[in-house]
Structure 1
Amino acid sequence: MTMHHWLKRFSFASMIGMFLILLMGALVTKTESGAGCGDDWPLCNGKFIPAYTIESMIEYSHRFVVGVVSLVLLATMILVFMYSNRKDAKWYITGAMFFTLLQAVLGALAVIMPQSSLVMALHFGFSLLSFAFTLLLALVYTRFGDSMQRGDGTTLTKGVRVAIWSTLVFTYVVVYLGAFVRHTEALGGCIGWPLCNGQVIPELTGATAIVFVHRLAAAILGISLLLLYLAVRMQASSDSSLYRATRLSFIFVVLQILSGGFVTLSIGYDVYLLASLLHTLIVSCLFGMLCYLSITSLQSTGRSKVQAYAAPRLP
């Protein structure tokens, strides 16, 4: 087996591992299992193998997976720095390792000492960044790697490129607001969907204000991605990577908004946990796709070397 295949396998293992961490972190929050191991870290209630309770097993399983994935990331980093000639791959694995360690430290601090909801909301955001870096790393060793390094032959205006990166940043803000809603347990502040407590604009106090701001930001993001899709459609061919990535991003944001409504309407029902995990899954796909779109857009400046390469196609 060639070293390229080993790099590909380890990068994909890192990506899958980070995706699992995202879902397990959401599960910990939604089941309120964060205190399942008491205030001990890295042990759980003073034991290496804790006594069986649902909360302790969920929390400790999350810690265990973070530890295993961190080792996989370390092995991947060693392989990338020793055998890969792609500078961007080295940046991606470094970013993934940095944010993985950062979210692990933040998680440990949350166990040892109380943290505010503003700080705890960063935990999911850092995990999402780690996943995005591992996704980009995995794509480097696929047929999409060339478009990330050399472009797909499309020329975008500076305004569209700025809009793409601005949308990525705003998406992270929306994700943070969603994590803040979870950690403040404010979801019940808006009963019903799409209206909030039967009103277009409810009384903006307490939990209602927190949820409504998140909903409003999500709506703005949906409109922004629609406009971005139309703009890219005018400048890119229908078979270009940029066009297909923008189209998929718009599809994901629509699904994300609908899944948010599903979460709200499922409150009090057994399907609530499944709806919450689905919400997390879709936003991870959305953010990852926007990261790929943003990186690829950097190569769409119309320089001659960009035009010399054929565009790989997204499925």
Structure 2
Amino acid sequence: MRHLISMRDIGKEDILRILDEAEKMEEILNSKKPSKILEGKILATIFYEPSTRTRLSFETAMKRLGGEVIGFGDIENTSVAKGESLIDTIRVVSNYCDIIVLRHPAEGAARLASEYSSVPIINAGDGSNQHPTQTLLDLYTIKREIGRIDNIRVAFVGDLKYGRTVHSLSYALALFEGVELHFISPKELKMPREIIEDLKGRVKIYESDKIDDLDVDVVYVTRIQKERFPDLNEYQKVKGSYKIKREHVENKDLIVMHPLPRVDEIDYEVDKLPQAKYFKQSFYGIPVRMAILKILIEEFEKA
């Protein structure tokens, strides 16, 4: 675990190790006592795309562990605006810090960065490809709120074509026993065929375009991502395809998750229900990212 680029690079054992460590980090977080675990260490956040939760939770995680943070979230005020390549940016910034969190619109950018960095790289999203730390906090949410990850039924609703969180989480869930994946989307936004083929034989897969009967343990809702569509006319066709309402989930033994931000795909009335876990899910990002920072920095120093 020199870097964290894709969920396909790590196994079930690695996942469980991170989730176990996150439980310890949650205890530190809830104690409100300052920690010195990463005192003297510096995290660099390099964000070529907008972010609220991922960037702020990583910064919070590092500071909660006693470390410091540098970085940028606006490329217009950096040398990137002058034409500096990603490779050169990584080579320079890795001299200034102990670990880097990178978000970039191009698929494969994090993998490329890891080849030139002298410190660990954490992929905070590369286009519509992967978002492994979101996946790990999603798994942690499921474990904390349901009590298990094995033998669960998960319905993914919305943008399954461009939804990197859906792609990453599907691969991760396929490592666990007895998992069912229900993919619910308009035909234009179906889960990519290559991912379906990869998952076949490892999990039970069901595909549908209806949300009327959600007989599952987890409803994972995703925003239809306007920014990912090469043709805005195609976006207009599918915009607002689904909205999870109170009647879809009330009185059901399930939880509703969402990587956020939400636009109109979950009615605000759902927020009042005990099934709604998306804001708790956002909180869980802090202990999970605390665990990831600690593990990767320690592993790097041992190498």
Indicate the structure (1 or 2) with the bigger Cα radius of gyration.
1
Q: TM-score range by the shorter chain?
A: under 0.3
Normalising by structure 2, we get a TM-score of: 0.25
From the two aligned structures, give the one with the greater helix fraction: 1
From the two aligned structures, give the one with the greater strand fraction: 2
Normalising by structure 1, we get a TM-score of: 0.24
